[in-house]
Amino acid sequence: MDQKPQAVAEDPAKLAEFQARIDRGESIEPKDWMPERYRRQLTRMMSQHAHSEVVGMLPEGNWITRAPSLRRKMSLIAKVQDEAGHGLYIYCGAETLGVDRADLIDQLLDGRAKYSSIFNYPTLSWADMGVIGWLVDGAAIVNQTVLAKASYGPYARAMIRICKEENFHKRQGYEIVATLANGTPAQKAMVQDAVNRWWWPSLMMFGPSDTDSPNSAELLRWKVKHKTNDELRQRFVNLTVPQAAAVDLTLPDPDLRYDEATKNWEFGAIDWAEFHEVIRGNGPCNRERLEARRAAHENGRWVRDAAAAYAAKHGAASATNAA
């Protein structure tokens, strides 16, 4: 997505008017003038986000056949299906920036595009389905609630709908966690183990610390973001610590302590070396996830071909997604 030169000379008057619109809290719409850099940043963010929704189906899809009851199976299927829908809304939103969804998907499949590091961790037990809903969807809500106020209209509107569904995901996850935490000693141990494995990767979902986040200042100035990575991470920790206590689970951080002065739960150091390794493609499941997506893309080719043939036969003008 970065085929264009990095530095585009923008008209200073247009740039000033654009910033003034942002500062007035106006929403930027697809046909409005926008700096090339804004378009590129939004394209990067929205495509990474869409890829994350779609790749995010894999760790949980892994457990659909093994869900312990029909009720659990139905809600897990519904949740995974919702994530496909989230991917679709956001790909559609990204297309309003003038990119083609097929190109974005190619970038995911050939490894040029990134997606959230969290989905490169394995789901080892049924308890992971609960903990992912609680922590991973919970972290996504914290992020996405703020993105629902992003300056780019199509992104913000997609987030409003997505957040409603994420709330359902978080509740169904927390209910699984609470059930196991109040279950047999073996169930309690299983859910505690899942929390121990997912806690730190969940904190990494907010991205690098502010001091190490090259895009943050610009995204804040353009009101694509309204809060920094560290502010959002702190909010997530503050929300989650009491939820863990309520079901008598511990979080795997000996440095966790409440600071009366700031009203924040202080937490220990994040292992950024691990984060960067996962982003570089060396997480526990990076290879497996991309292979699964590539196979799904190949196996779905006949559907895209059939849709394109149908559209051509019926004279529809847009059969562009057939690639």
- Binding positions for Fe ion, rule: CB under 5 A: 53, 83, 86, 137, 166, 169
Cα–Cα–Cα angle for 177, 178, 184, rounded to 5 degrees: 90
Minimum separation from the CB atom of position 312 to Fe ion (A): 33
Minimum separation from the CB atom of position 105 to Fe ion (A): 17
Minimum separation from the CB atom of position 52 to Fe ion (A): 8
Q: At what angle do helices 101-109 and 286-299 cross, to 10 degrees?
A: 140
Q: Which is nearer to Fe ion, 143 or 216 (CB)?
A: 143
Q: How many CB atoms lie within 10 A of CB 101?
A: 18
- The continuous run of DSSP H or E covering 286 comes out as helix 286-299
Minimum separation from the CB atom of position 80 to Fe ion (A): 9
Minimum separation from the CB atom of position 53 to Fe ion (A): 5
Residue with tokens 């760790």: 59
Q: Which is nearer to Fe ion, 83 or 128 (CB)?
A: 83
257-259 and 264-266 beta bridge pairing: antiparallel
| 3-class SS letters over 87-102 | HHHHHHHHHCCCCCHH
Q: Which is nearer to Fe ion, 55 or 113 (CB)?
A: 55
Minimum separation from the CB atom of position 162 to Fe ion (A): 6
Q: At what angle do helices 153-181 and 137-147 cross, to 10 degrees?
A: 160
Q: Which is nearer to Fe ion, 22 or 120 (CB)?
A: 120
Distance CA(149)–CA(135), nearest Å, equals 22
Q: Which is nearer to Fe ion, 28 or 76 (CB)?
A: 76
Q: Which is nearer to Fe ion, 28 or 108 (CB)?
A: 108
CB-based contact 204:127 (threshold 8 Å): no
